Amino acid sequence: MRFIACPIAVAMAVITGCSPTPQDRADEFLRTYDALFQKMYAITGEAYWKAATDVTELHVGERIGAEKTMAAFAGSPWVIDTVKALLADTDRLDDVTERQLRGILLSAAEYPGTIPEVVAARVAEEARQGAILDSFEFCVERSGDDCREIVTPNQIDEVLVTSTDEAQRRKIWAVAKQTGPALKEGIGKLRDLRNQVAQEMGYDSFFALQVDDYGMAVEEMMAMMERFNHDLRPLYEQLHTWTKYELAERYGEAPPDLIPAHWIGNRWAQAWPGLSSGIDLDSLVAEKDPEWIVKQSEAFYTSMGMPPLPQSFYEKSDLYPLPPGAERKKNTHASAWHMDLEKDVRSLMSVENNWRWFETSHHELGHIYYYLAYTSADVPLTLRGGANRAFHEAIGDLIGIAARQPAYLREIGLLEEDAEIDEIAWLLDEALDQAVVFIPFSAGTMSFFEHDLYEENLPVGEFNRRWWEHAARFQGIAPPSPRGEEFCDACTKTHITDDPAQYYDYAMAFVLKYQLHTYIAKNILGQDPRNCNYYGNKEVGDFLWDLLSLGATRDWREVVREKTGGEVSTKAMLEYFEPLVGYLQEQNADREVGWQ
Ligand code: X8Z
Ligand code: ZN
């Protein structure tokens, strides 16, 4: 409901002598704020983009300069005091206005102008840590100070996914952890600065500030994470046991209690690819080039009636790996950027022709289509975000589920029409590589580590022990050999530096994507969720576009109910993988299931 007492806003109210309402005052403030914010956001975004795609001292300096200016504005006492005063009278503001003001206050809490030296130190430290991470050279063979053999993250992943040589795996796994010691002290410093910033605005910790984006308390969020782990645990234990026996046989060892991390085909054991026999998704795209992978991802979205990507996306994005020996250094973790909160959308990736990048490319375009959908006159600038952060992560992953359905793969010719599909093996691959095993990592190890880091002020000297305690408890994973505090294996995860205290977003996203997928398959397509095809379906496209174009204008809980028919719950995910339960129980019949 809008309250209109004066025909136009505050300035006119002064002239006409009628008093402006709280809504008038809020409108006036938002107009000024948005105009300034959008310009600064675009300048800061451009500086960030340069620093991430071409890591040089100059670009890091420019990023720090731009962000300091942004901070001085977004966290200024003018913004904080005005918004607090306006929010004191929420009964007389409409819902969308209140949501904008709360969002602005959350942004201000990242940069409170009352402690400018702390904010400046945080901004600088974040940029420096980012540069260490983005320009890092992973070294396999050292000769004194020189590296005789440098490997890229793509090359590390390739070995972990394909090699059956235990010694080679052990070696490359350790190489993948080299960023830890380089980042550890800085993460400790950053944690202190981030906590100081959040506490200045009345939060217990930086973790609490990030969780507040969901309108939730830390305890509620952690209870949700515990619930996800608890619900998935029986299925996960079956998968864990099955995998442990498979890999023990592969490497000629007796099955251990915990699975050694270097046996798994992912640097953090967050996905377990390449285990289900007869399923080799990499081979489906091996003959394609990386450009095809991005174009085919776009084709999924346009087939459902979404618009083609703007030409500027292809001109301005940075989508492929740098050639060997390149001077330039870039961030190799995939991301999607909304540069100006309008139509300048870009992605930073290092796409190669394998299944990981096929899925990642769909994931990133999910973010890009979200940006495009909510960039409209209906969505105020500061509400150009997901229904919540988890929704933003869920969309491209949802299309990732759709893109691995056999019906779709046949339609685009990646699977032969008459190719026989072993449904259980196919489902097992999805559970291991994309879904179930990700929950103990995201809702467990990562979320609990970040929680402890910020909420408990975990000392730097305990980072590694705590990380592996969580990995053992939640994932049933152990390092290949004891890892002392000279390492920081948690610090090797990009998000600890770049998206701090937010990894529960992905856990919620994975749960949500199966809810959305099941809803679409059953209610729109009328097909089996495990073998359905939304490629080319405009009704599915409309359903998704409606969801995306809401941006953050509505309460996310309402959106979940409306778009999935219920609350956030693991029910859909469990139902989807139900056929695996009997199979795994049979396979594991004579084995001890789970770990100590
Ligand atoms: O970081 C990502 C995306 C970028 S938003 C590639 N993901 C998480 C990760 O890699 O750890 C996607 C799923 C999990
Ligand atoms: Zn993402």
Q: Which residue has the tokens 């010719």?
A: 413
- What are the structure tokens assigned to 32, written together? 């000024």
Atom of ligand 1 at shortest range from CA of 393: 5
Pocket test for ligand 1, best of 362, 393, 441 (most atoms within 8 A of CB): 393
> What b-and-e string marks burial along 391-419, b requiring 16 or more CB atoms within 10 Å of the CB?
bbbbbbbbbbbbbbbbbbbbeeebbeeee
Classify residue 318 by its DSSP letter: B
Classify residue 509 by its DSSP letter: H
Nearest CA to ligand 1 atom 14: 506
Per-residue pLDDT, 234: 98
- What are the structure tokens assigned to 312, written together? 């500027």
Q: Which residue has the tokens 């442990």?
A: 244
| Ligand with smallest separation from the Cα of 495 | 1
Residue 464 contacts by C-beta under 8 Å, 6 or more apart in sequence?
180, 483, 484, 485, 487, 488, 489, 490
Give the Å distance between the CA of 236 and the centre of ligand 1: 21
Give the Å distance between the CA of 567 and the centre of ligand 1: 24
C-alpha dihedral, 410 to 352 to 348 to 279, nearest 10°: 50
On the question of pLDDT at 77 being above 70, the answer is yes
Q: For all residues of the chain together, what is the average pLDDT?
A: 95
Give the Å distance between the CA of 270 and the centre of ligand 1: 10
Q: Work out the average pLDDT over 29-36.
A: 98
Helix (H), strand (E), coil (C) string for 109-165: HCCCCCCHHHHHHHHHHHHHHHHHHHCCCEEEEEECCEEEEEECHHHHHHHHHHCCC
434 lines ligand 1 (CB under 6 A): no
Pocket test for ligand 1, best of 363, 442, 497, 513 (most atoms within 8 A of CB): 363
Confidence of residue 15 (pLDDT cuts 50, 70, 90): low
38 lines ligand 1 (CB under 6 A): no
Q: How many residues does the chain have?
A: 596
Per-residue pLDDT, 3: 36
Give the Å distance between the CA of 101 and the centre of ligand 1: 29
Distance CA 508, CA 91 (A): 32
467 lines ligand 1 (CB under 6 A): no
Give the Å distance between the CA of 470 and the centre of ligand 2: 24
| Ligand with smallest separation from the Cα of 366 | 2
332 lines ligand 1 (CB under 6 A): no
Confidence of residue 10 (pLDDT cuts 50, 70, 90): low
Nearest CA to ligand 1 atom 7: 506
Per-residue pLDDT, 470: 98
On the question of pLDDT at 94 being above 80, the answer is yes
Number of continuous H segments (helices) and E segments (strands) in the chain: 27, 6
Amino acid identity, residue 158?
E
Give the Å distance between the CA of 23 and the centre of ligand 1: 40
| Ligand with smallest separation from the Cα of 510 | 1
Give the Å distance between the CA of 578 and the centre of ligand 1: 26
Distance CA 377, CA 431 (A): 40
Q: Work out the average pLDDT over 137-151.
A: 94
Give the Å distance between the CA of 363 and the centre of ligand 2: 6
Q: Work out the average pLDDT over 211-238.
A: 98
360 lines ligand 1 (CB under 6 A): yes
Confidence of residue 212 (pLDDT cuts 50, 70, 90): very high
363 lines ligand 1 (CB under 6 A): yes
| Ligand with smallest separation from the Cα of 368 | 2
Give the Å distance between the CA of 525 and the centre of ligand 1: 28
184 lines ligand 1 (CB under 6 A): no
Per-residue pLDDT, 7: 43
pLDDT tens per residue across span 353-404: 999 999 999 999 999 999 999 999 999 999 999 999 999 999 999 999 999 9
564 lines ligand 1 (CB under 6 A): no
Pocket test for ligand 1, best of 333, 503, 504 (most atoms within 8 A of CB): 333
pTM above 0.75, yes or no: yes
